[in-house]
């Protein structure tokens, strides 16, 4: 692997792309420390630390993770790339239900550019809405908690915050698109991954603090517990890699056609059905739905709302139960959106393809739907386990949420998936120029 990384810098074009990507990611991390005017960053950071200690993470905790810690400091990149992700998911869902958008999406490159432009417009609208309500929340938070987070509340502060945070999101969107076009690819995903990885030093520092007391009885984490955590971490990464790469390959045979003196078709191929089609999107949907009402209720000074908010926090049975149900539901929902067995069967029939032993047309669609339903169940159960594993780790080993979050949940799925895709991109450049890839036995491929 080290040899492959060294070879990556021997190829001028690949070296240029890698350095360009690293440069833009460094610019992103610098922007995560530029504060928004009118905010007491220290007071806000203390408030977020209190939330994480008492509730184990809220909707703001998710935004903070995706922004690489910029949310708790309310820097210019506080919103992160979340508005773009939300806009992309919304456009993807609308494309499946609105015929006009579906027609545009099938127009090839021009259709892709139109959908991408609509996504940008949606990103700006969502960023404006989110930044304005964040400004209102900060003003109200300062009055409720008795802490001066906003130095000069009012219309001027709201407009300044709106412009600053919206502009920050637009800049991040532009950085991601530049990495996609002129860098190594996976631009938006790499921006998110860089933010998640940037929290590793803080997690390591917390571990050191918990291990630091010389008196064994005062230590919150024992060395044996740390060893268990390291073994679990490697096990989680290994299992996530297997499921992320896992595929069910459906064999497809194309009939041989003779047109004039030329013979077309006759080859064999396969349809790769991913075990985890939804990826991290199901977890994002489930977290947003279950934490949004709980986060709003926590700020309403009413006993009924406070009890509702406390019932939907990490570690509570109601939270874990509904969280798991929502993840499984959205795994099936998203898979149904992106994979249409009837359309796949019709395209196969149109070009003379068939699955051995299955009749073309309706029977093929039913077979694909049957197979996809079964493998999606396995993927959904695994994603659910990975999502709730940090909660069990917090209760079992008594570790902070920041540390436990690296053993499962959204972060580990994003980091592993993006790293695998990025390594595939680099390996394709290496193999094209007759260099060895990252694996001696072959290249990255889906596991059966």
Q: What is the mean pLDDT of residues 170-192?
A: 88
Higher pLDDT, 430 or 177: 177
440 part of a folded domain? no
Question: Could you tell me the pLDDT band of residue 437, with boundaries at 50, 70 and 90?
Answer: low
How many domains is the chain built from?
2
- Under the banding of pLDDT at 50, 70 and 90, the label for residue 447 is very low
**Adjacent-strand bridge partners of 144:** none
Query: How confident is the model over 194-206, as a mean pLDDT?
Result: 82
**What pLDDT score does 170 carry?**
93
Per-residue pLDDT averaged across 122-148, rounded? 78
Q: What is the pLDDT of residues 115-131, one digit of tens each?
A: 889 999 999 998 998 88
Environment class of residue 103 by beta-carbon count within 10 Å: exposed (0-12), middle (13-18) or buried (19+)?
exposed
Statement: residue 175 has pLDDT above 60: yes
The mean of the pLDDT values for the chain is 80
pLDDT surpassing 70 at residue 297 = no
CATH of the domain at 113: 1.10.3370.10
DSSP tag of 151: S
pLDDT at 54 over 50: no
Torsion of CA 190, 193, 198, 200, to 10 degrees: -150
CA-CA distance, 200 to 205, in Å (whole number)? 9
Does residue 241 sit in the same domain as residue 358?
A: yes
User: For the whole prediction, is pTM greater than 0.75?
Assistant: yes
DSSP 374: H
Q: Is the pLDDT of residue 313 over 80?
A: no
436 domain residue, yes or no: no
CA-CA-CA-CA dihedral for 386, 389, 391, 395, to nearest 10: 180
| pLDDT above 80: residue 400 | no
For residue 276, tell me if it sits in a domain.
yes
Helix (H, G, I), strand (E, B) or coil at 67: coil
Q: Which range, 61-75, 116-130, 176-190, 232-246, is most confident?
A: 116-130
Same-domain status, 160 and 284: no
The sign of the dihedral angle between the CA atoms of 154, 159, 164, 166 is positive
164 and 236 part of one domain: no
Q: In Å, what is the CA distance from 102 to each residue of 91, 108, 342, 359?
A: 10, 11, 16, 28
Same structural domain for residues 68 and 187? Answer: yes
Q: Tell whether 428 is covered by a domain.
A: no
The answer to whether the CB of 346 falls within 8 A of the CB of 368 is no
Q: What whole-number percentage of the chain has pLDDT above 90?
A: 13
The pLDDT of 136-147, averaged and rounded, is 67
Residues 6+ apart with CB under 8 A from 323: 286, 287, 290, 387, 388
pLDDT digits (tens, 9 = 90+) for 341-368: 998 888 888 878 888 888 888 899 999 9
Q: Which two tokens stand for residue 9?
A: 């810098």
Mean pLDDT of all residues in 154-176: 91
Q: pLDDT tens across 29-43, in order?
A: 898 888 888 887 777
CB neighbour list of residue 86: distance below 8 Å, 6 or more residues apart: 122, 126
Measured CA distances, 221 to 49, 276, 297, 409 (Å): 20, 34, 34, 22
Structural domain containing residue 60: 14-195
- Say if residues 434 and 202 touch (Cβ distance below 8 Å): no
Q: In this predicted model, what pLDDT tens digit does every residue of 91-103 receive, in sequence order? A: 887 887 888 888 8
Q: Are strands 262-264 and 268-274 parallel, antiparallel or unpaired?
A: unpaired
């Amino acid at each position: 692997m080290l040899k492959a990384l060294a070879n990556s810098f021997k190829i001028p074009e690949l070296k240029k792309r890698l350095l360009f990507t690293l440069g833009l990611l460094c610019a992103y991390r610098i922007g995560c420390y530029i504060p928004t005017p009118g905010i007491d960053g220290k007071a806000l950071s203390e408030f977020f630390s209190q939330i994480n200690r008492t509730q184990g993470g809220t909707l703001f905790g998710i935004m903070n993770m995706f922004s690489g810690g910029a949310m708790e400091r309310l820097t210019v990149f506080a919103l992160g790339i979340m508005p773009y992700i939300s806009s992309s998911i919304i456009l993807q869902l609308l494309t499946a239900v609105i015929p006009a958008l579906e027609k545009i999406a099938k127009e090839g490159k021009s259709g892709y550019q139109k959908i991408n432009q609509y996504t940008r417009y949606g990103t700006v609208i969502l960023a404006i809405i989110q930044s304005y309500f964040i400004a209102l929340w900060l003003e109200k938070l300062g009055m409720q908690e008795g802490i001066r987070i906003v130095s000069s509340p009012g219309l001027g502060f709201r407009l300044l915050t709106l412009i600053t945070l919206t502009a920050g999101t637009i800049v991040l969107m532009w950085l991601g698109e530049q990495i996609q076009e002129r860098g190594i690819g996976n631009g938006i995903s790499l921006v998110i991954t860089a933010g998640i990885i940037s929290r590793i030093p803080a997690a390591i520092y917390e571990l050191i603090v918990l291990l630091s007391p010389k008196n064994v009885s005062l230590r919150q984490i024992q060395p044996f517990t740390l060893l268990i955590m390291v073994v679990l971490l490697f096990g989680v990464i290994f299992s996530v890699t297997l499921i992320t790469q896992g595929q069910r390959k459906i064999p497809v045979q194309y009939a041989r056609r003779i047109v004039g003196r030329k013979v077309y078709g006759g080859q064999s191929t396969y349809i790769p059905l991913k075990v985890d089609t939804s990826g991290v999107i199901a977890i994002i949907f489930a977290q947003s739905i279950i934490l949004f009402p709980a986060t709003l209720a926590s700020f309403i000074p009413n006993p009924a709302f406070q009890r509702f908010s406390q019932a939907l926090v990490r570690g509570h049975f109601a939270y874990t139960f509904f969280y798991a149900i929502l993840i499984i539901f959205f795994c099936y929902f998203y898979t149904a959106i992106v994979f249409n067995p009837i359309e796949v069967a019709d395209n196969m029939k149109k070009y003379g393809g068939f699955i051995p032993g299955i009749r073309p047309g309706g029977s093929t669609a039913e077979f694909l739907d049957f197979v996809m339903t079964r493998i999606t169940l396995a993927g959904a159960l695994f994603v659910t386990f990975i999502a709730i594993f940090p909660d069990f780790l917090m209760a079992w080993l008594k570790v902070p949420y920041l540390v436990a979050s690296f053993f499962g949940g959204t972060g580990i799925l994003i980091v592993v998936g993006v790293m695998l895709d990025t390594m595939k991109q680099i390996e394709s450049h290496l193999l094209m120029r007759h260099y060895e890839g990252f694996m001696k036995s072959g290249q990255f491929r889906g596991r059966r």
